[in-house]
Structure 1
Amino acid sequence: MMKTQKRARLIYNPSSGQEIMKKNVADVLDILESYGFEASAFQTTIEKHSARNEAERAAKAGFDLIIAAGGDGTINEVVSGIAPLKKRPKMAIIPTGTTNDFARALKIPRGNPIEAARIIGKNQTIQSDIGRAYGDKYFINIAAAGTMTELTYSVPSQLKTIFGYLAYLAKGVELLPRVQAVPVKIKHDNGVFEGDVSMIFAAITNSVGGFETIAPDAKLDDGLFTLLLVKTANLFDIVGLIRMVLQGGKHMNDKNIEYIKTSKIEIEPQTDKRMMINLDGEYGGDAPILLENLKNHIEFYANVDEISDSALVDTQELELEEIAQKFSHEVEELSEHE
């Protein structure tokens, strides 16, 4: 009996990253064919959940591999289409967005669809954790809450496109004085936290907004979130924390930070004020909320050799550090004039 050929479905966002993917679809399909796949492509539309619906359809149709090409938003949608299913195909990523946090964690070349597609040929995979919120929403990088994260919603989408999750840093000088600490109750694997926080941050990957030092020891496959609670709303303290992040993750031991490893997080606001939840950089709903880590839920093609080599320096990360250093300097100047 003849062995049936493996099938791959490329789901790509045509407008992501200056339409770079649009120009490379034929070449990427050729590469997939050379690796033994029968390959086809789907271009996402402006219809709501276009990528998610196609991912679910392709998975149910028995495709062996689904490739998400676009920014973190497209990847999130494709994951959301596959994650609820019992039988899930393998996934690969061709990052063409701006921050590409998940691709950065998998060490996939960014902004170069051909090189990204070639990672599949290395045949190295990782069983990655996925976050689930409210029982039916999924995230691959972060879930965040608190007034500090709500500032991202005031940022024009143009800025968000340029800076990704760090968007609010660009407007931070104007917005940070509005940061407040609010009372919360947070249940986690090791107990309960009750107190005031300005930011709640649950990370799956070690890359957030392009920085790999916010949750430096986060692992993609350990079944645990890295939960960071910022317990201050003081401008000087926050600037100090940003500095420590830039100094290689020294914030982890600061008195203003709770740093917890946990597989489940239950967030209950202890106030009538609305608490919005940010999932992968977009508004995802309001607290109260239960976040669950689905351990090793989806198998991704990854550049496993490089994941283990933490000595590699990322040029884009250096640029982002420059932006943040400038930001921290501007905030200090603002504080001195108050």
Structure 2
Amino acid sequence: MGGHGETGIVDGAEHGASTDPTTTLRAAVIVNPSKTGVDRLREAVARAEERQHFAPSLWLETTEDDPGKGQAKEAIAAGVDLVIAAGGDGTVRSVAAGVRGSGVPLGLVPLGTGNLFARNLGIPVGDQGDAVVLAFSGIERPIDALVADVRRPDGTEESHVSLVMAGIGIDASMMANTNPDLKRRVGWLAYVDAGLRVLPAAKPFRAIYRIDDHRQHRSRASSILVANLGYLPGNIELIPGAQPDDGHLDVVVLQPRNLFGWLAVWRRVTWENGVLRKSPIGRQLLEMTAGTRRNEIVYGRGGTITISIDGEPEEFEIDGDVFGSVVGVDFRVDPSSLLIRVAE
């Protein structure tokens, strides 16, 4: 395989795949060549091809300029029956953007450090062989995608796809300040390091947001998150009840006023969401105290959300990747637009 700046198409027959002339099914494997374990991946794919009676796969490498969307469209145009994204959350998101709405199922083989999307769907993260087997033989689960129409400070607009969550504010600043070497070594814990460096200097921003056709809200927020899934790294449940196939997007507005406000946010996420909501008694206790709870963290749900920054542009991130500064973002849900191979 070449470096990350190259594009390559390799016939799977050279790697031991089945050459049965009666075989008609074929997969495309889109891989980030900068990740480790690509040789093992080829071997696992060859075994799965033989077991599932697939023809040799079409192999496509991502590049820095095109991390997967173009390769996915190329695979769809070639008429494959399955697309497999092998890489981290960035590769999976880009490939999903190219597959979205095509009706061709998408298999995931995690090769990165976070792999939040795969973790939330129960796809094996620590066993590449099991992930490949699941990609070839799992059931197809319809999954929503989030579409973010971004407005830049210079007036230009862009459209991006999110699978996990996108955010404006302090979370994007954390992503921008995450040490890449530390992230490769310790994974999601690198975000903790970035958070400790960013939080002391973080300043709230003013935003106007609207969910669906309801009234506008004005907020002095530290972060606004729009999510497809509820769990953060470390199995922290940020959004109780969020499902990737419910046809809605979930909105979280973080608006702590001081350090005690951040402690209240942490208590809400770890204790209330992570512990109390898991039992009937805990849920009853939350209902009894609902009137006394503060508004450091506000939840919302809908099919669309429009956010406008009232002031200087803010940093924006999608699924853990930094996407520059924005003055506003319009989100919408694209229901059941992806077919993901998962376990039964």
**TM superposition score category, shorter chain reference:** 0.7 to 0.9
Paired position in structure 1 for 2:340: 300
RMSD, matched Cα = 2.5
Q: Give the superposition deviation at 1:208.
A: 2.3
Paired position in structure 1 for 2:69: 52
Deviates more, 1:44-53 or 1:274-283: 44-53
Do 1:265 and 1:290's aligned partners in 2 also have CA atoms closer than 8 Å? yes
Do 1:184 and 1:194's aligned partners in 2 also have CA atoms closer than 8 Å? yes
- C-alpha distance in 2 between matches for 1:163 and 1:195: 35
Amino acid at match of 1:6: L
Q: Give the superposition deviation at 1:4.
A: 7.1
279, 289, 296: which one pairs with 2:329? 289
Paired position in structure 2 for 1:64: 81
Indicate yes or no: 2:216 matched with 1:192: yes
Paired position in structure 2 for 1:112: 127
SS of residue matched to 1:289: strand
Indicate yes or no: 2:146 matched with 1:131: yes
| Structure-1-length-normalised TM-score | 0.80
Amino acid at match of 2:192: L
Unaligned runs of 5+ in 1: 305-338
Do 2:62 and 2:71's aligned partners in 1 also have CA atoms closer than 8 Å? no
**Deviation per residue, 1:279-317 (Å, 9 max, x gap):** 11112241311111100001010124xxxxxxxxxxxxx
SS of residue matched to 2:27: strand
**Deviation per residue, 1:184-238 (Å, 9 max, x gap):** 1001124322121101011101232343411231101111111100111412221
Indicate yes or no: 2:186 matched with 1:176: no
Distance 1:124 1:45, change over 3 A: closer
SS of residue matched to 1:116: helix
Deviates more, 1:48-57 or 1:160-169: 160-169
Do 1:21 and 1:113's aligned partners in 2 also have CA atoms closer than 8 Å? no
Paired position in structure 2 for 1:29: 46
Q: Give the superposition deviation at 1:36.
A: 2.6
| Structure-2-length-normalised TM-score | 0.79
Amino acid at match of 2:84: I
1:75-86 maps to which residues of 2 (within 5 A)?
75-83=92-100
1:247-262 maps to which residues of 2 (within 5 A)?
247=271, 249=273, 254-262=294-302
Distance 1:155 1:112, change over 3 A: same
What is the count of residue pairs matched by the alignment? Answer: 298
22, 30, 48: which one pairs with 1:11? 30
Amino acid at match of 2:159: D
Give the structure with the higher percent strand.
2
**Deviation per residue, 1:156-180 (Å, 9 max, x gap):** 2223445656633213333211122
Amino acid at match of 2:91: T
Indicate yes or no: 2:260 matched with 1:236: yes
Amino acid at match of 1:256: E
- C-alpha distance in 1 between matches for 2:61 and 2:271: 40
Q: Give the superposition deviation at 1:105.
A: 1.4
Paired position in structure 2 for 1:332: none
**Deviation per residue, 1:111-164 (Å, 9 max, x gap):** 311111222455322100011111631111111011343232122222344565
- C-alpha distance in 2 between matches for 1:214 and 1:164: 19
Deviates more, 1:125-134 or 1:6-15: 6-15
- C-alpha distance in 2 between matches for 1:56 and 1:64: 13
Displaced runs of 4 or more, over 6 A: 250-253
- C-alpha distance in 2 between matches for 1:29 and 1:215: 39
88, 91, 100: which one pairs with 2:106? 91
Distance 1:210 1:67, change over 3 A: farther
Q: Give the superposition deviation at 1:96.
A: 1.6
Distance 1:61 1:133, change over 3 A: same
- C-alpha distance in 1 between matches for 2:340 and 2:110: 13
Do 2:28 and 2:60's aligned partners in 1 also have CA atoms closer than 8 Å? no
**Deviation per residue, 1:9-63 (Å, 9 max, x gap):** 11122332xx123323122232133113223142525441152221110012211
Paired position in structure 2 for 1:213: 237
Do 2:99 and 2:106's aligned partners in 1 also have CA atoms closer than 8 Å? no
Distance 1:166 1:180, change over 3 A: farther
Give the structure with the higher percent helix.
1
Indicate yes or no: 2:166 matched with 1:143: yes
- C-alpha distance in 2 between matches for 1:32 and 1:191: 53
Distance 1:97 1:212, change over 3 A: same
- C-alpha distance in 1 between matches for 2:265 and 2:317: 21
Q: Give the superposition deviation at 1:258.
A: 1.0
